[in-house]
Amino acid sequence: MDILFEYFLRIEIFILVLVIVILKSSIIFVPQNRAYMIERFGKYQSTREAGLNFIIPFIDRIGADRSLKEQAVDVPSQSAITRDNISLSVDGVLYFRVLDPVKASYGVDDYVFAVTQLSQTTMRSELGKMELDKTFEERDVLNTNIVAAINEASGPWGIQVLRYEIKDIVPPQTVMEAMETQMKAERIKRAQILESEGDRQAAINVAEGKKRSVVLNAEAEKEEQVLRAQGEAQAIIAVAKAQAESLRMVGEAANTVEGQKAIQLDLATKAIEAKAAIAKESSVVLLPDSGNDAASMVAQAMTIINSLNKG
Pick the last residue of a domain from 127, 154, 171: 171
Instruction: Please choose, from the candidates 143, 141, 138, 137, the residue with its C-alpha nearest in 3D space to the C-alpha of residue 123.
Output: 143
Confidence band, pLDDT 50/70/90 cuts, at residue 301: low
The CA dihedral of 151, 153, 157, 159, to the nearest 10 degrees, is -10
Own/partner long-range contacts of 301-310 (Cβ < 8 Å, ≥24 apart): 301/263, 301/264, 301/267, 302/260, 302/263, 302/264, 302/267, 305/254, 305/263, 309/251, 309/254, 309/255
Total domains in the fold of the chain: 4
75 & 138 share domain: yes
195 & 235 share domain: yes
163 & 79 share domain: yes
242 & 298 share domain: no
Percent of the chain predicted with pLDDT > 90:
5
Per residue in 181-207, pLDDT (tens digit) is 877 888 888 888 888 888 888 888 888
46 & 75 share domain: no
248 & 278 share domain: no
pLDDT at 179 over 90: no
The mean pLDDT of 65-69, rounded to a whole number, is 89
Pick the last residue of a domain from 171, 189, 216: 171
Instruction: Please choose, from the candidates 106, 94, 27, 95, the residue with its C-alpha nearest in 3D space to the C-alpha of residue 66.
Output: 106
Per residue in 72-116, pLDDT (tens digit) is 999 888 888 888 888 888 888 999 999 999 998 888 888 899 999
110 & 198 share domain: no
Q: What is the pLDDT of residue 290?
A: 47
38 & 60 share domain: yes
Q: What is the pLDDT of residue 98?
A: 92
Q: What is the CATH number of the domain that holds 121?
A: 3.30.479.30
Backbone phi, psi, residue 52, to 5°: -85, 130
Backbone phi, psi, residue 222, to 5°: -60, -45
96 & 162 share domain: yes
Q: Work out the mean pLDDT of the chain and round it to a whole number.
A: 80
259 & 248 share domain: no
Q: Which domain holds residue 295?
A: 255-310
